[in-house]
A and B are shown apart, each in its own frame.
Chain A
Amino acid sequence: AQKITQTQPGMFVQEKEAVTLDCTYDTSDPSYGLFWYKQPSSGEMIFLIYQGSYDQQNATEGRYSLNFQKARKSANLVISASQLGDSAMYFCAMRGANTGNQFYFGTGTSLTVIP
């Protein structure tokens, strides 16, 4: 069974500070992809970053990086130098090579950036 767990319903961070959003996963698939999405209050889902299970290096996209620890089955999102516009819901998702058509989402973390 595939499962994504996000244990932080809500997080606060001071502007310009870094913040880590936790994500753990469970899968029997030997090959899989991990994704993070941002959902602002307007509702659209914005793709942020991808990590493949066989990637040797942690993924980075601008201020976003993914702290991938395969043995611990964790894929935490790190946002550096937080901005007010980072306030949003963040979802972690997984897609397995053997269940390639389906994505599995966590319940999300609501991030609030404080000026």
Chain B
Amino acid sequence: DVKVTQSSRYLVKRTGEKVFLECVQDMDHENMFWYRQDPGLGLRLIYFSYDVKMKEKGDIPEGYSVSREKKERFSLILESASTNQTSMYLCASSLVASYNEQFFGPGTRLTVL
């Protein structure tokens, strides 16, 4: 069964902390994505990666960085967490062709105090 896993369902951090969100997929997908979801704003793309060590900025990359050292793993890093980064973070993966859907992880609800 296809699977995308995220390291935590709930996370509470303090302002200024460095935060790592991990995502692992077992489907050998080339593409991986990090989204942020806030009420009324839908899903906003932070970063995506189309290959190992390759990354592209999405719509809201400020305050975030990513790492993809292995094909199956895509990490989102909040260099210095701020309260406005409190949100639901969703990881997804997909094959390359445009008719392929994304598969999502269960999400990480991050609270920054």
Contacts and interface: CB of A to CB of B under 8 A. Distances in A.
A96 B45 contact: no
Nearest to A46: B104
A46 to B, nearest CB: 8
A97 B98 CA distance: 5
Interface string B73-113: 00000000000000010101010111101111111010000
Interface stretch (A64-72, A76-84, A103-111): A103-111
Interface residues of A, number: 26
A31 B98 contact: yes
How extensive is the interface on chain B, given as a class? Answer: 20 to 34
Interface of B is mostly: strand
Nearest to B95: A100
Contacts of A91: 42-43
A43 to B, nearest CB: 5
B99 A107 contact: no
A102 B98 contact: no
Contact of A101 (B40, B50, B101): B50
Contacts of B41: 107
B100 to A, nearest CB: 8
Nearest to B43: A105
Interface of B: 31, 33, 35, 40-43, 45, 48, 50, 56, 58, 88, 90, 92, 94, 96-99, 101-107, 109
5 contacts: A9-B40, A35-B102, A101-B31, A103-B92, A107-B42
